Amino acid sequence: MSACHLLFPQLENSLRHVLSDSGIDTSKLDEEMLQEDRSLSGLLSNRREQLESVFGIDLIYTIDLLFNLKGSPCLRHELAHGKLASGTCYLHSSIYACWLMYYLVCLPLQRFWSTHVAPQLERISL
């Protein structure tokens, strides 16, 4: 349950961060000409091609199915609006989404864990 509440909110900003690092603008102007970040649905509808070029079509489709698409689990929406019931955290879709977040965030760091990550964690824990 805590993994869902910690990991799911990280997806949207992580996608924005990766796009920004690639030089792609992730903001929009609203009716009052105020600049704001695009939501997950906004990224998937307006920056889908760029997301697919970075992450691949299959991964972006999976993210869309789990976190955004109407009729799907809509995990991002459910959590963001306080509608993710505790039992929902144990459904297959939520467990798969947690593993997907692990796949996106932790596996790329695995080869650097002992040389870069672990020493930093030890240093800050003192």
Q: Which domain holds residue 39?
A: 2-125
Query: Count of domains in the chain?
Result: 1
Cβ contacts of residue 54 below 8 Å, gap of 6+? 18, 19, 22
pLDDT value at position 57? 97
- List the one residue out of 100, 107, 74 whose CA is nearest residue 88: 74
Beta bridge partners of 27: 37
Q: What is the distance between the alpha carbons of residues 1 and 87, in angstroms, rounded to a whole number?
A: 8
pTM over 0.75: yes
pLDDT in tens, the chain (126 residues): 999 999 998 999 999 999 999 999 888 887 888 888 888 999 999 999 999 999 999 999 999 999 999 888 999 989 988 999 999 999 999 999 999 998 888 878 888 889 998 999 999 998
Q: What is the distance between the alpha carbons of residues 59 and 64, in angstroms, rounded to a whole number?
A: 9
